[in-house]
Structure 1
Amino acid sequence: MYGKQQSTDAFPRRPLGSTGLHVTPVCVGGGPLGSMPALFGYDVSAERGTETALAALTGPFNFLDTAAGYSDGESERRIGAALRRIGGVPGGFVLGTKVDRDFTTGDFSGEQVRRSAEGSLERLGLDRLPLVYLHDPEHISFEAGMAPGGPVEALLELQREGVIGHLGVAGGPVELMARYLRTGHFAALITHNRWTLVDRSAGDLIDEAVSLGVGVVNAAPFGSGILAKGPAQFTKYAYRQADDEVLRRVRAMEDACAAHGVPLAAAALQFSVRDPRITSTIVGVSRPERITETARLATWDIPDELWETLAPLTAPQESWLY
């Protein structure tokens, strides 16, 4: 048996940058509930996805993240079905989504951003989107993203029209994300797979975001699964095969956690949650019971000695994503 856990009854609300929104330190990730077998390796039925969304909307966390492009909109459809069952977004709950490029043509124009946002409104059954991120802008140049008639201009217009409340940017390459933050247009940032037990690529980006008053949301604390399941069951980091050095270090982390009676997943999640610079940490879920399990991991009692053991096990910089 693992050691004791703290209470999971209540999670504090933290201010998300300058948005005025207050969110729990854990955000439920809506990607898996839409069923993305090519990415996650398993299917999720429509009913299970909707039940998972219901659990997210009525559970201990008040923050749910999805995207127009997840499963060709299926994540949003299932969340929308759950919202209809409970009569709309609960008071104080924050639902964030993302505008996406056209995955068939690659179009990421302003017109495409408007189509993406309109599709989200329809699928979710809402007349306004409180928080919308520009999603994966690394698929176009920064210049194209900021050009007249481009995606950022369209988002700003939608915000002025009252369709969108707050704007964020969500993506991978840390320097590109920093360039978007420096425009002053974005109040929230999602970085993924780049601030975990083994990869610290986003350290400077997170510092810069905080200095700009931008709310930081850290996604994929499990590195797509290896830091939850362990390398014996899963050998990919950020959806690609992890190198031998990363695997060796994750094994050492798993052994250290076991010696203290702590699940590796609890340490991986709390590495992010306990960082005062990070407002919320996104954990993807695909089953209703995962909500409660995630709450347990987020509140597991982890001794200081374990953190001291884990710190030097971070992968060498040449293994980081950037």
Structure 2
Amino acid sequence: MIDWQRPLGGTGLSVSAVCAGTGVLGSMPGAFGYEVPEERGIDTVTRVLAGPITFLDTSNGYSAGESEHRVGAALARAGGVPDGFVLATKVDPDGDDFSGPRVRRSLEESLSRLGMSSVPLLYLHDPERISFDDATAPGGPVEELLRLRDEGLAEHVGVAGGPAALMERYVRTGAFEVLITHNRWTLLDRSAGRLLDAAVEQGVAVVNAACFGGGILAKGSAASDRYAYRTAHPEVLEAVRGMEAACARHGVPLAAAALQFSLHDPRIASTVVGFSRPERVDECVAHAGTPIPDDLWPELEALVPSSERWLH
């Protein structure tokens, strides 16, 4: 059994082991391969707000703000953010503008869509889109993010991005309380191992996103040939097929193993799972509690693709 409610590092916030992701919620067919109607997206958030998941992650940039719009509509129907619920969003650039002033405007846009006056947690999103020096320069986005926290518009701040080595540089600045890493700590990819260790060393809480690699570890190889939003290498597809067979021999859904790989890592506070239908929330909670034989894990470990196929 897992501890369902967990401390989010040193923030003082308590979050559920699963965090509801909303990247797909606003409809991003280019990344995920399918449309999500508005009402279904709103109904999905409404289901999340009913529990037991108490943590939700969104972003200014998801579907050009449509994700936040749908989250805000669900919050309005629910009468606001439930007690004990943690909602996080992210600041995003406007085209090539990822300046300090843009960070402030990004949060203002998000608060308007969400119907909130402040957020418990605010991330700098995908800082790989600018140089580290520009991001950390005086007057830049990191400084403005910290100013927003000082002003009470965000209670806590984090950084969310891809390349593991770059994210480690941000973690080691001491500016951030929470880290999101995505697609780099899954059954198929271990790029973030050193990053997770660095976060623990620095006292930064870890939120692990995309434990299904964008869907293939939930849907299976017959339904998807994509990992991390791109066509998967044949070696990766072969690994998925082997993992599917191993899970089938043990009577375990591949999705349950992929989720629990992240849930049981002591370095990880919460695992982001994207939802696009209300029923997926209940499926995920069931997968979190699915018994998994100890013998399955070494079989899956032996099937991990070579590091040349990791995202890094």
**TM-score greater than 0.5 by the shorter chain:** yes
Correspondence for 1:174: 164
Partner of residue 27, structure 1: 19
Alignment of 1:9-20 (within 5 A): 12-20=4-12
1:136 alignment partner in structure 2: 126
Q: Please say if 1:110 is aligned against 2:95.
A: no
Please show how residues 271-310 of structure 1 align to structure 2 within 5 Å.
Answer: 271-310=261-300
Quote the residue 2:201 is aligned against.
211
CA contact (8 A) 1:230 1:254 kept: yes
SS of the equivalent of 1:234 reads coil
Aligned positions, number: 312
Secondary structure of 1:74's partner?
helix
User: Is the 1:11–1:60 Cα contact (8 Å) retained in structure 2?
Assistant: no
Q: Report the residue type matching 1:50 in the other structure.
A: I
Tell me how far 1:11 sits from its aligned partner: 5.9
Contact 1:222-1:269 at 8 Å conserved across structures = yes
Counterpart position of 1:78: 70
Structure 1 CA distance, aligned partners of 2:112 and 2:98?
20
Distance 2:106 2:226 in 1: 30
1:192 aligns with 2:194: no
Cα offset, 1:43, TM superposition: 1.1
Q: In 2, Cα distance between the equivalents of 1:14 and 1:201?
A: 24
Is 1:59–1:291's contact at 8 Å kept on the other side of the alignment?
no
Q: Name the structure 2 match of 1:258.
A: 248
> Does residue 45 in structure 1 map to residue 27 in structure 2?
no
Is the CA contact (8 Å cut-off) linking 2:59 and 2:68 kept in structure 1? yes
1:29–1:284 contact (8 Å) kept in structure 2: yes
Residues 16, 54 of structure 2: 8 Å contact kept: yes
In structure 1, the gaps of 5 or more residues are 1-5
- Determine the structure 2 residue equivalent to 1:57: 49
Offset, 1:235: 0.8
The amino acid of 2:85's aligned partner reads F
3-state SS of paired residue (2:160): strand
| C-alpha distance in 1 between matches for 2:3 and 2:38 | 29
Q: What's the TM-score once normalised by structure 1's chain length?
A: 0.95
Distance 1:11 1:195 in 2: 20
Q: Any conservation in 2 of the 1:166–1:187 contact (CA below 8 Å)?
A: yes
Alpha-carbon distance, 1:12 to partner: 2.4
Q: Is 2:38–2:70's contact at 8 Å kept on the other side of the alignment?
A: yes
Give a deviation string over 1:85-116, Cα, whole Å, max 9, x none. 111110100001000011xx311001111110
Which amino acid is the alignment partner of residue 108 of structure 1?
A: F
Which deviates the most, 10-19 or 300-309? 10-19
Contact 2:91–2:103 (CA<8 Å) still a contact in 1? Answer: yes
AA paired with 2:40? R
Q: Is the 8 A contact 2:86 2:120 kept in 1?
A: yes
Match of 2:83 among 74, 91, 101: 91
**Does the 8 A contact of 2:172 with 2:198 survive in 1?**
no
| % identical equivalent positions | 63
Q: Secondary structure at the match of 1:82?
A: helix
